[in-house]
């Protein structure tokens, strides 16, 4: 029996997600310059041509991964802002969400975002996405609110935000290098803000 259009679309969506997961792993290990479409096809156990059916280039795949990672980062900030309670409680909730993401495959996205921020080999579109979707800048209002409540120190909120994300990125790097690396809890991380 032939598949319905909905079944075909679900198959296409699943295959595209499979390609993105495989590509994230390869980009994380080899970087943008060291990754080839043939590497992605081989690890996904798909033909070279089928990968090109979904993406026109490795750059397009990398851009999609960065776009998805940036959107996820911003989404967690928006969800934190929608939580009930004080700003410091919202930061606690957000930090817990981030720590949970470091335990799974999504920790590779942190490495991709660091590569996207530092590599000269990435497409210009990636740099534009990073400027537009900066979690540091999106978190500053929440930090300022927690400062106004008297729960965070009265330091420069940009400095506090960059310190917070530097700590998160460092933890992500540790988890990538050492999967069993113990992570601090949200309260410990937020001590740098108090």
| For residue 152, pLDDT beyond 90 | yes
The predicted pLDDT at position 28 comes to 83
C-alpha 67/C-alpha 72 separation (Å) is 9
Domain residue extents for the chain: 5-193
The predicted pLDDT at position 173 comes to 85
C-alpha 172/C-alpha 157 separation (Å) is 22
Contact 88, 190 (CB under 8 A): yes
| For residue 22, pLDDT beyond 80 | yes
- Backbone φ and ψ of 98, nearest 5°: -65, -45
The predicted pLDDT at position 178 comes to 86
Look up the pTM and report it.
0.84
What CATH number should be reported for the domain whose range is 5-193?
Answer: 1.10.357.10
pLDDT tens-digit map of 30-88: 888 889 999 999 999 988 888 998 999 999 999 999 999 899 889 999 999 999 999 99
Mean pLDDT of the chain: 90
């Amino acid at each position: 029996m032939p598949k319905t259009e909905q079944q075909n679309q679900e198959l296409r969506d699943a295959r595209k997600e499979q390609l993105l997961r495989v590509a994230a792993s390869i980009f994380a290990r080899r970087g943008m310059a060291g990754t080839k479409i043939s590497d992605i096809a081989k690890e996904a156990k798909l033909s070279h041509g089928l990968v090109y059916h979904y993406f026109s280039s490795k750059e397009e795949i990398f851009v999609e991964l960065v776009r998805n990672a940036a959107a996820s980062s911003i989404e967690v900030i928006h969800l934190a802002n929608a939580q009930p309670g004080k700003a410091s409680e919202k930061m606690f909730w957000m930090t817990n969400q981030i720590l949970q993401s470091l335990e799974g495959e999504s920790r590779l996205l942190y490495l991709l975002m660091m590569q996207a921020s530092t590599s000269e080999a990435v497409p210009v579109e990636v740099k534009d996405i990073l400027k537009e979707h900066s979690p540091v800048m999106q978190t500053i209002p929440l930090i300022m609110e927690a400062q106004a409540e008297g729960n965070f120190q009265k330091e420069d909120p940009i400095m506090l935000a960059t310190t917070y994300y530097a700590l998160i990125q460092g933890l992500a790097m540790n988890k990538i290098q050492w999967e069993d690396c113990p992570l601090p809890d949200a309260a410990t991380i937020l001590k740098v803000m108090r």
